[in-house]
Chain A
Amino acid sequence: MRAVLLFLSLFLILQDRSQADEPLPAMPGPTVLTVTGHIGVANAQNAAMLDLTFLQNLPAVTIKTSTPWTTGLSVFVGVRLRDLLTRLDAKTVKYVEAKAIDDYTAQIPLADIRAYDVIIAYRLDGKALDQMSRGPLWIIYPYTDHDDLQQEIYYNRGVWQLDRLIVN
């Protein structure tokens, strides 16, 4: 499984090499995510300031999972962290630091990004996330699909009210 995912990710990375140099489009909407660190494309001083439309235009992935913060199964829709890093031409990624509006910080290792469809969710149960519902962005792991992920360390990486990513 891991091997397949790894292969898939390499394939995606190689496939997206063609558009790696492609500059970021104009971001008319308000910035919801600021990505800094080792990225290949940027639209500000060493930073990619992304609006919701840009994220929504990347391939959308749906994860159906239960979490410690919700009751029952919830449906999250978002963009794969892997896809976003590829689009931003992130090189030599070791880990990604995810920061929330209230400065809560978690480190997401490359192994997680490769092995699982870790997403930056922008939609929960059909409704857009907002600041009052732990939005506008929320990092979600496919907890229910993988028993291994039902652990404290992975729950701690499920950063809500995400607004910054630092690629290391």
Chain B
Amino acid sequence: MPFRPALSPVLRIIKPFLVSLVALLAIAVAWLSLHVTQDLLSLRRTPHSDMIGAGTQLESQFHRFMSSLSLAQSGRGTEADVDRQWIGMQGWTPMLTAGTLYDTFRGDPLFHDLSMRITSGLQGIQQPATAAGSWVAAASTILDRATALAPAFHDLSIYSIQKANEIEQTQQLRILRDAHLMSAVIIVLFIVLGATAMMTHLQSRRLRLAGHAIDLARLQAERASRAKSDFVAHMSHEFRTPLNAIIGFSETIQAEIFGPVGNPRYREYCGDVVTAGRHLHGLIDAILDLSRIESGETEISPAEIEPVALARVCLDLVRSQASKKEIELVLNVAPDLPTFTADPRHLRQILLNLLSNSVKFTAQRGRVELNIQIDRAAPSDDRQIIFQVKDTGIGIAPEDIDRVQRPFGRVARSMDQAQDGTGLGLSISRSLAEANGAEFHLSSVKDVGTTATILFPLFPAERPISQPLEAVA
């Protein structure tokens, strides 16, 4: 079961909000910075201050006109000078009806009033000159009217300057406001990012702690498992010593070595004690084997194996058992079998387990085969040697196949009574085969027979192919 780190519930709920908040804030910062940039650019581009200041220039042009007229009146200037300044006025007066100044003040009643006063006042100034045909001739009237008009120009000038300042101030305030807003948003952004980082940190610490706990639990489990295996190995050994005494003395009594036991019933009981003791002995040996394999203490001593010789030895060991039930033992060997490398002790144990199982579960006059082949179809460096133990026994139902390969996984309780066995043979065989890098397969048809197949690699990758030769028999 893999460990699945879970987000803390709070973070799980908050996370999408945080992410969208950060995104929103980032967008806000980008938008505001664009805004501020535009503001600053507009501050540079907008001609407001100077163009509204045009009011001032209009006033000063009017004064230049007045002074040129008074100079001309006193003979220190010419009619042409006055003409030039009057024409100059014409360049500025359109400011009252079009352009930035007019646009800025559009709809402003005071500006409208001033502009009307100036326009009609200028007409009043030009009119006597037109009538007299000369500026100088009508100078005194014009100067009187001009002096009366001058405050209007002055008011316009002041008013336009005020307005320009106002606009500039507004602009500056807007920039300031945007800048402050941007700073605030940036600060919030940093706070949110900080909070996110903090939460992530806490989360990761939580995960790390959980990881530690898992490591600890695994370590404890491993220790417990090892302790169990140690215990089993130790206890098995302790069991065997008294058991050997029981079996040995029972055999002595049964054989009546030191004189008759009297009632034949005692001898019979002694025989039962011997049988039960041997069974227990076998069971203890099997448990010991299994616990060694499980605790990873199985030592593998690879050696070069001559398969046929090994097979013969194993068959010889089950022959007496088989002949009691008149079971036919057959050895089929492919020609030119090569030697191969594995632990000979383990292979012998596997084959013996399988053969004795087969003999055990095969009825009178049945047949047990041991076939040894090479899968010649496979590529030469990927070949396997195949040992197959096939019987015509009672077979195993498909639903029981997996179970029988597990420790103590015998098919039915009743069988324990009918058949002698520890129920560990298959699982030990499988474990030993796998420890030697072999594949173990079991197939069976109920009431027809069982076939166990072990495939040893001919060239095990981890181990060198040539090992010190060991006599097999």
Q: How far is the CA of A68 from the CA of B88 in the complex (A)?
A: 18
Q: How far is the CA of A25 from the CA of B47 in the complex (A)?
A: 42
B103 contact set on A, CB distance < 8 A: 71
B87 interface neighbour in A68, A70, A101, Cβ under 8 Å: A101
A131 part of interface (Cβ distance < 8 Å) = yes
- Min CB–CB distance B364 → chain A (angstroms): 111
Known contacts being A102-B84, A152-B50, is A67 close to B99, with CB within 8 Å? yes
- Min CB–CB distance A65 → chain B (angstroms): 13
A9 contact set on B, CB distance < 8 A: none
A86 part of interface (Cβ distance < 8 Å) = no
- Interface contacts (Cβ under 8 Å), in number, total 56
Size of the B side of the interface (Cβ < 8 Å), in residues, is 21
Q: Among B90-98, B246-254, B270-278, B334-342, which stretch is in contact with chain A?
A: B90-98
B98 contact set on A, CB distance < 8 A: 69-71
Within 8 A of A (CB), among B44-76: 44-45, 47, 50-51, 61, 64
- Min CB–CB distance A44 → chain B (angstroms): 19
Q: How far is the CA of A147 from the CA of B306 in the complex (A)?
A: 98
A161 interface neighbour in B88, B101, B102, Cβ under 8 Å: B88
- Return the chain A residue nearest B102 by Cβ: A71
Within 8 A of B (CB), among A93-121: 100-104
A102 interface neighbour in B61, B99, B101, Cβ under 8 Å: B61
Q: How far is the CA of A160 from the CA of B91 in the complex (A)?
A: 7
B47 contact set on A, CB distance < 8 A: 68, 150-152, 155
A3 part of interface (Cβ distance < 8 Å) = no
A150 contact set on B, CB distance < 8 A: 45, 47
Q: How far is the CA of A133 from the CA of B93 in the complex (A)?
A: 9
B236 part of interface (Cβ distance < 8 Å) = no
A131 interface neighbour in B44, B87, B100, Cβ under 8 Å: B87
B85 part of interface (Cβ distance < 8 Å) = yes
- Return the chain B residue nearest A159 by Cβ: B91
Interface of A is mostly: loop
A134–B99 CB distance below 8 A: no
- Min CB–CB distance B265 → chain A (angstroms): 125
- Min CB–CB distance B441 → chain A (angstroms): 84
Of the four ranges (under 10, 10 to 19, 20 to 34, 35 or more), the interface on chain A belongs to 20 to 34
A132 part of interface (Cβ distance < 8 Å) = yes
- Min CB–CB distance B262 → chain A (angstroms): 131
- Min CB–CB distance A48 → chain B (angstroms): 22
Known contacts being A102-B84, A131-B90, is A68 close to B45, with CB within 8 Å? no
B44–A68 CB distance below 8 A: no
B94–A151 CB distance below 8 A: no
A71 contact set on B, CB distance < 8 A: 98-99, 102-103
B94–A69 CB distance below 8 A: yes
- Return the chain A residue nearest B85 by Cβ: A102
B94–A134 CB distance below 8 A: yes
Within 8 A of B (CB), among A55-71: 67-71
Q: How far is the CA of A131 from the CA of B88 in the complex (A)?
A: 9
Known contacts being A69-B99, A70-B99, A102-B64, is A132 close to B45, with CB within 8 Å? no
- Min CB–CB distance A96 → chain B (angstroms): 20
Within 8 A of A (CB), among B91-120: 91, 94-95, 98-103
Known contacts being A102-B61, A102-B64, A155-B50, is A69 close to B95, with CB within 8 Å? yes
B99–A132 CB distance below 8 A: no
Q: How far is the CA of A20 from the CA of B415 in the complex (A)?
A: 129
B84 interface neighbour in A101, A133, A134, A147, Cβ under 8 Å: A101
- Min CB–CB distance A33 → chain B (angstroms): 15
B91 interface neighbour in A70, A102, A151, A155, Cβ under 8 Å: A102
A131 contact set on B, CB distance < 8 A: 87, 90
Q: How far is the CA of A67 from the CA of B98 in the complex (A)?
A: 10
A70 contact set on B, CB distance < 8 A: 98-99
A132–B95 CB distance below 8 A: no
- Min CB–CB distance B92 → chain A (angstroms): 9
Known contacts being A68-B47, A133-B94, is A100 close to B99, with CB within 8 Å? no
Select the residue from A69, A134, A155 with max chain B CB neighbours within 10 A.
Answer: A69
A132 contact set on B, CB distance < 8 A: 90
- Return the chain A residue nearest B57 by Cβ: A104
- Return the chain B residue nearest A148 by Cβ: B45
Q: How far is the CA of A151 from the CA of B48 in the complex (A)?
A: 10
B91 contact set on A, CB distance < 8 A: 100, 102, 104, 134, 160-161
A100 interface neighbour in B50, B64, B88, Cβ under 8 Å: B88
Q: How far is the CA of A151 from the CA of B99 in the complex (A)?
A: 15
Q: How far is the CA of A160 from the CA of B100 in the complex (A)?
A: 16
B45 contact set on A, CB distance < 8 A: 147, 150-151
A68 contact set on B, CB distance < 8 A: 47, 51, 99-101
Query: What are 14 A-B contacts with C-beta separation under 8 Å?
Result: A68-B51, A69-B100, A70-B99, A71-B99, A71-B103, A100-B91, A102-B88, A133-B90, A134-B94, A147-B45, A150-B47, A151-B47, A155-B47, A155-B50
Given contacts A104-B91, A134-B94, A150-B45, list 18 more A-B pairs with CB under 8 A. Answer: A68-B47, A68-B101, A69-B95, A71-B99, A101-B84, A101-B87, A101-B88, A102-B61, A102-B84, A102-B87, A104-B88, A131-B87, A133-B90, A133-B94, A147-B45, A161-B88, A161-B90, A161-B91
Residues of A whose CB lies within 8 Å of any CB of B are 67-71, 100-104, 131-134, 147, 150-152, 155, 160-161
